[in-house]
Structure 1
Amino acid sequence: MSDQRMIGHYRIVELLGSGAMGKVYAAADTFIDGREVAIKSLRAELTQDPEFVGRFKAEAQSLARLNHPNITMLHSLLREGGEFFMVMELVRGRALDDVLRERGGPLGVKESLAIVAQAADGVAYAHQMGVIHRDIKPSNLMIGNDGRVKIMDFGIARVQGGVRMTRAGTAIGTPLYMAPEQRRGSEGDERSDLYSLAVVLYEILSGAPPFAGLDEVELLQAQIGKNPPPLAPRVAGVTPELEAAIMKALAKRPEQRYPSIRAFSDAIGATALRVDATAIVESPAHLLDRTTQTASAGSAGSASAAFSSLPSAALAVAKSRSTSLVRRFKSLHPALQGVSVAILAFAAVAPLLFGGGDSDGGTKKREIDRIERDRRATTELDGDRRQTTKTLDYGQIAEIKPARGEIDRPALSANDTPAAKPKCNDGFSIADCQPSTVPGQKTAAVEKAALGSSPTIADLRRAVKDKEFDRASSIGEPLAEAGDREAQYIIGMISLKGQGRPQHLPTAFKWIRKAAEKEFPEAQALLGNMFQNGDADGGENVTEAVRWYMKAAEQNNPRGQFWLGRAYEKGVPNVLKRDAKKAGDLYRLAKAQDFPGAAEALEALRKSGKY
């Protein structure tokens, strides 16, 4: 191609790279004083294939929804003759995989977290806008010459609610970085991108992906059935807490990971580096300096110092493993915690009860093997149980009390839930929890038998559906006390609405706040309503209301999106400036989930000419 070729009003300057789909050029915008842009082309032979053209357009449509400093910006989509071109922001720098390859080793902890902090910001924003990237990997993270990280290549991204671009059961993405559910053919969701970002962090800290160096079959088996090699203490500066957070994000089941990219960023300490992240990364050249790793390890502060004070590497490993085990134990249902404790207690006293001395090594081994089988069965049961505890249609819990103010003091309505009722992953309908007819799936009777006579969340849901609120309270309160966030939310709602007992706002606030603090999105949004209405401890607090709306909106909760949109539309003195663009975007997201009032609010904003 000649350097003088024109594409629209853009003059081609140089070829930046080429791949299977097409080429990328640097070009000058002749309309805007020679502004540099990147132009991505689709190979001529692929323009005759509807699938490739569809993917190219889908990438443009995904990027058109996004405007964030950590995502490459789309300027326009052009067609000249039979060729397609995307005109994009030109990022001068190096891809992260090139940096790692040329460096020949891992990065320091502080630089790694600064990179992930920026990537997490961009991915979290994309999720808020309804876009799932599905191919987060080092080659799609560009390190700019100014230290800013840019997320590239939304070629296989999926817009939530959009038309599926792949056949059901077809895996799509890069195998080394794909979540287990993607390898099984699922389209993936926010938690799949979270898994991929955790793989990237693991790689830049250790120098290799968690399951690198395997053939395709072994790689798939490892991703589905094996745990990654530990990071602490072999990687300088990685604390047991940081390792435990990474391992949680790499959990095999999506529901066992963090609920959002933001929660993961908070847990690893990356969010705290957001303000200084570009200064820490500085440039690709800074990352290629081999002294960077030593310097950052020393600057890890108390975390690194804590490791140096440990008497041995074995103690550090023990601390890391124990942190992970404690986290897994706390995630169990109280009944399963009791079973686990009983198993461990039996293992401790069995030799005393049955006289199993060292002379009877075969008997001891068989007993240990049996206990291990029981433990695994318990863990599998817990995984199955947690799949049944998804979002309940809380419109069943009668009517929420009205607000006392105007539209900026939001009324809580029983209609504030999406119209479509969700389904449990194990085949139960949330509304009535009738047994699934799918062969091999567990029924409510099987689950209850496995857990004994202790009431479960399924029992609580049925009591709510039957409007037996006294029974619901007696079932739900022990579960809420034990830390079940869904039970906490339901008990809070019952107290808020005065069902089966007089309304009691302090009790409602207590339980709804507990559920919100456990990242239950509907509780976060409702807690924002309570702060805005003055129903919270301490009365009205608009700052706290906005904070909880933001948390709920980050998890794609329509109530949080709607009321955060209201806050942006009207502005909150000393908290939020008016921003009609953000308000409209949030209304659109809420409207996509059929949240009442969102369509009307969006239409009114458009008619005003502000959006």
Structure 2
Amino acid sequence: MTDPQMIGHYRIVKLLGVGAMGKVHAALDTFLEREVAIKSLRAELTQDPDFVGRFRAEATSLAKLNHPNITTLYSPVLEGNDLYMVMELVNGRPLDEILRERGKPLGVKESLAVIAQAADGLAYAHQMGVIHRDIKPSNLMVADDGRIKIMDFGIARVRGSVRLTRAGTAVGTPLYMSPEQCRGGEGDERSDLYSLAVVLYEMLAGAPPFSGATEYDLTQAQIHAEAPPLVPRISGVTPELESAIMTALSKRPEQRFPNMRSFSDALGATALRIDASSIVRSAGHLVQDSTAERDVPTPEHMSTKLIALAKSRSATLVRRFKRLHPAAQGASLGVAAAALATLAFLALIEPSSPARDERQTRTDSGDGDHRPISRVNDEPLQPRGDCNSQFATRNDPLGCNWRQPSSSSSSASIYDLRAAMKDRGRWDIAFPLAQKLAESGDKEAQYHLATLYAKAPGRQNFSEAFNWFKKSAMQGYADAQASLGVMYKDGMTPDGRQDPTEALRWFQQAETQNNGRAQYWLGEAYEKGLAGLDVSRSKAEELYYKASLQDVPDAAEALQRIKRRRGRR
């Protein structure tokens, strides 16, 4: 007699969810002894060629993809007339459930950390010729480790394949569908880009940009309506961020960004990619805690707010102008000129920033010890500090601490590099300094150059970041070893593959130098039994404790979590 709890050599453990097409169960692969998810098509739909074709299309799409931010297909299973997909089991919660439970917008940083990962996965899928066509919060899973996983490629289209839907038939979810999809078009990479922009808008504003009493009203809004502005009503949204979102929400695909990577760059999300999973951390973090609630906004001068508002409205006018018929554009130039004149006037009355006007040449350490401030291009920089991600915090992502001067032959210049790295506004100054020093073999400069390639807006290049982190790590620079481990862990390698064993090796090397960030990730590896390690909560607790002493973000929370579990035993 057939065991109803078995599908091939997979033992069903529990039901995870039910959808329109079928069910998803958690199961155990009895051969490899690993947890998996099994997606099945409803029995009555196995006789419908359209649904079977769609099910097979999803398997075909997923079979082409291998990326840390996309659920992995292990194998399809055909048992009798039943079709199954055996997939990676993602422990976490879908984004829509998190937003619903939270009941308020996410902070800008968390929102961009979600988008950075989703955009990375979609950019890879597009490169492989796969268009998702149904990007929405319920198809973005927030895993327990903070990683975003793109789910459900059920209506995905492989470029060049035979279409599964009739011409003129809309596919997708109306609340997130692009205008061309609403009209029944196939959609391309820019359709996924539009849908992801709708998701980002919803995370920031608490609701999608378009709504309607009926599905028809909603699709008409997607086709014709303009999204309400975010500046100044949403705290933390800059005119530049708003402009990037509104460009992605353009009604005509050719007016959007050309690809997912350029959208992510314009948002400033790509710069967060290396730390994105740490920023998100977990579904529970997004529900219970976020920078939107923790951070107290710095009071802004009224003229600063007016300038932001003027920039926002000027950008809106420019976008509207571009959509006009050429005959109507001339009549609109006067309006645009007036807005620009207002912006220029506000800029004139904005008081100068004290930090820029100050022309200090010395600083007091508090005990009468005066130290010179480094200068680049005759601009005062910060005191000689070392930007070290081991001590990163949310307000100071590079973690600037004090160190003894470098013993390298270029020590006089490394001070300028450290100071420039401390201020993101000076990263354009830091880049040529870092490049020159890194090419001379300075391991600290190599680490900073890698950081710039990973985080600096407009310069993101993860392959270059990986290569420079590795060069610095090979010379024994602990911060670079920890960062290289993160890149191996999260699959930000040149070939896009995760390598937990290499990640563990570099974390272990950095930990021998008492690197706090490596201690944190090693603690997680021991807590979860990653990369072949035996689970050891005592070892994890010890490592989390060491990391917490160095104020590594999340280490104290992880330590308390371990202690609570120990207390329950």
| Fold shared, TM-score > 0.5 on shorter chain | yes
Residue 288 of structure 1 and its aligned partner are, at CA, apart by: 0.7
- The aligned runs of 1:193-212 (5 Å cut-off) are 193-212=192-211
Map 1:408-487; keep pairs closer than 5 Å. Answer: none
* Partner deviation per Cα, 1:333-391 (whole Å, 9 max, x = no partner): 99987665378789xxxxxxxxxxxxxxxxxxxxxxxxxxxxxxxxxxxxxxxxxxxxx
Evaluate the alpha carbon distance shift between residue 248 and residue 164 of structure 1 in structure 2; reply closer, same or farther with a 3 A threshold.
same
Q: 1:142 to 1:50 in 2, by over 3 A?
A: same
Are residues 345 and 88 of structure 1, via their aligned partners in 2, closer, same or farther at CA, if it must alter by over 3 Å? closer
Q: Report the CA distance shift for 1:577/1:116 in structure 2 as closer, same or farther (over 3 A).
A: closer
Distance 1:80 1:345 in 2: 68
Q: Distance in 2 between matches of 1:322 and 1:578?
A: 40
Instruction: Give the structure 2 partner of residue 22 of structure 1.
Output: 22
Offset of 1:212 from its aligned partner? 2.9
Q: Give the deviation of 1:195 after TM superposition.
A: 0.2
Aligned to 1:118, what secondary structure does the other structure show? helix
Checking the alignment, whether the CA contact within 8 Å between 1:132 and 1:159 is kept in structure 2 is yes
| Correspondence for 1:323 | 315
Offset at residue 94 of structure 1 (A) = 0.4
> How far off is 1:105 after superposition?
1.1
d(CA) in 2 for partners of 1:237, 1:343: 28
In 1: Cα distance, 2:168 partner to 2:160 partner:
18
Distance 2:231 2:13 in 1: 48
- Contact 1:4–1:13 (8 Å) recurs in 2: no
What corresponds to 1:173 in structure 2?
A: 172
Counterpart residue identity of residue 199, structure 2: V
Amino acid at match of 1:97: D
Q: Which residue matches 2:148?
A: 149
Q: Secondary structure in 2 aligned to 1:235? A: coil
TM-superposed deviation, 1:309: 2.9
Deviation readout 1:112-141 (Å, 9 max, x if unpaired): 000000000000100000000000000000
2:132 corresponds to 1:130: no
Contact 2:118 2:148 in 1 (8 A): yes
| Residues 73 and 88, structure 1, Cα contact 8 Å, conserved in 2 | yes
Which residue of structure 2 aligns with residue 82 of structure 1?
81
Question: Could you tell me whether the CA contact under 8 Å between 2:106 and 2:290 is conserved in 1?
Answer: no
**Equivalents in 2 of 1:196, 1:345: separation in Å?**
33
- Counterpart CA distance in 2 for 1:577 and 1:105 is 35
Distance 1:162 1:155 in 2: 14
Residue 90 of structure 2 is aligned to residue 91 of structure 1? yes
| 8 Å contact from structure 1 (residues 144, 284) kept in 2 | yes
For the aligned residue pairs, the C-alpha RMSD in angstroms reads: 3.6
Corresponding residue number in structure 1 for 2:300: 308
- The CA deviation at 1:23 is 0.7
- Cα distance between partner residues in 2 of 1:45 and 1:158: 24
Distance 1:285 1:578 in 2: 32
* C-alpha distance in 2 between matches for 1:16 and 1:219: 31
CA spacing shift, 1:106–1:48, aligned 2, 3 Å: same
User: Which residue is equivalent to 2:333?
Assistant: 341
Contact 1:3 1:13 in 2 (8 A): no
- TM-superposed CA distance for 1:213, in Å, is 5.2
Gaps of 5+ in 1: 299-303, 347-550, 555-563, 565-572, 582-611
Structure 1, 228-237 or 89-98: larger mean CA deviation: 228-237
Corresponding position of 2:9: 9
Give the partner amino acid of 2:24: V
TM-superposed CA distance for 1:281, in Å, is: 0.1
Q: The residue matched to 1:341 in structure 2 has which SS?
A: helix
* 1:16 maps to amino acid: L
Whichever residue aligns with residue 29 of structure 1, its letter is D
Provide closer, same or farther for how the CA distance between residues 577 and 71 of structure 1 changes in structure 2, counting only shifts above 3 A: closer
Task: Quote how far apart the aligned CAs of 1:244 are.
Answer: 1.0
Equivalent residues in 2 for 1:209-288, closer than 5 Å: 209-212=208-211, 214-288=213-287
Amino acid paired to 2:206: G
Query: What is the deviation of 1:219?
Result: 1.3
Alpha-carbon distance, 1:226 to partner: 1.3
How far apart are the structure 2 equivalents of 1:94 and 1:580? 24
Structure 1 pair 188–580 and aligned structure 2 pair: CA distance change class (3 A): closer
**Which AA in structure 1 matches 2:133?**
R
Query: Which one-letter code corresponds to 1:49 in the other structure?
Result: D
CA contact (8 A) 2:17 2:25 kept: yes
The answer on whether the counterparts of 2:105 and 2:204 sit within 8 Å (CA) in structure 1 is yes
TM-score normalised per structure 2? 0.57
Distance 2:209 2:81 in 1: 43
Distance in structure 2 (CA, Å) of the matches to 1:68 and 1:3: 34
Structure 1 pair 165/196, CA: closer, same or farther in 2 (3 Å)?
Answer: same
SS across alignment from 2:219 = helix
**Secondary structure of 2:111's partner?**
helix
* Superposition pairs of residues 382-401 of structure 1, within 5 angstroms: none
> Matched residues in 2 for 1:580 and 1:193: separation?
21
One-letter identity of the residue aligned with 1:28:
L
Equivalent pairs counted in the alignment come to 354
Q: Which runs of 5+ in 2 are unaligned?
A: 339-457, 464-469, 472-491, 498-569
Distance in 1 separating the partners of 2:167 and 2:290: 48
- Counterpart of 1:266 in 2: which secondary structure? helix
Q: Aligned partners of 1:73 and 1:271: how far apart in 2?
A: 23
> 1:28, CA displacement in angstroms?
0.6
Please give the residue correspondences for 1:155-166 in structure 2 after superposition, counting only pairs within 5 Å.
155-166=154-165
Shift of 1:62: 0.1
Q: Secondary structure at the match of 2:76?
A: strand
Return the alpha-carbon distance in structure 1 between the equivalents of residues 7 and 34 of structure 2.
14
Q: Report the Cα distance in structure 2 between the residues aligned to 1:43 and 1:345, rounded to whole angstroms.
A: 60
- The alignment's TM-score, normalised by the length of structure 1, stands at 0.53
- Give, in whole Å, the separation in 1 of the partners of 2:119 and 2:336: 39
Amino acid at match of 2:95: L
* Cα contact 1:103–1:290 (8 A) shared by 2: no
Q: Confirm or deny: 8 A CA contact 1:246 1:268 kept in the other structure.
A: yes
**Is the Cα–Cα contact under 8 Å of residues 318 and 336 in structure 2 kept in the other structure?**
no
Give 1:218 deviation, angstroms: 2.0
Counterpart Cα distance in 1 of 2:271 and 2:93: 25
Q: Is the 8 A contact 1:91 1:144 kept in 2?
A: yes
Contact 1:240 1:319 in 2 (8 A): yes
- Tell me the secondary structure at the aligned position of residue 47 of structure 1: helix
Shift of 1:156: 0.1
- In the alignment, the residues of structure 1 paired with residue 319 and residue 44 of structure 2 have an alpha-carbon distance, to the nearest angstrom, of 52
Distance 1:217 1:197, change over 3 A: same
Q: In structure 2, do the counterparts of structure 1 residues 12 and 342 end up closer, same or farther at CA, with 3 Å as the change threshold?
A: closer
Cα displacement (A) at 1:8: 1.1
Compute the displacement of 1:87 (Å).
Answer: 0.1
**Residues 338, 53 of structure 1: alpha-carbon distance in 2 compared, 3 angstrom cutoff:** same
> SS state of the match for residue 308, structure 1?
coil
Q: Among all aligned residue pairs of Structure 1 and Structure 2, give the percentage whose two residues are the same amino acid.
A: 68
Which deviations, in whole Å up to 9, do the C-alpha atoms of 1:567-599 show, x marking residues without a partner? xxxxxx98x999699xxxxxxxxxxxxxxxxxx
Corresponding residue for residue 64 of structure 1:
63
Aligned equivalent of 2:561: none
Q: CA deviation at 1:215?
A: 2.1
Q: Distance in 1 between matches of 2:3 and 2:225?
A: 51
SS of 1:220's equivalent? helix
**What secondary structure is seen at the aligned counterpart in 2 of 1:265?**
helix
Counterpart-to-counterpart distance in 1, 2:496 and 2:169: 40
**Is 2:35 the counterpart of 1:36?**
yes
Cα distance change, pair 15–179 in 1 and its aligned pair in 2 (3 A): same
Deviation at 1:291, TM superposition (A): 5.1
- The amino acid of 1:137's aligned partner reads K
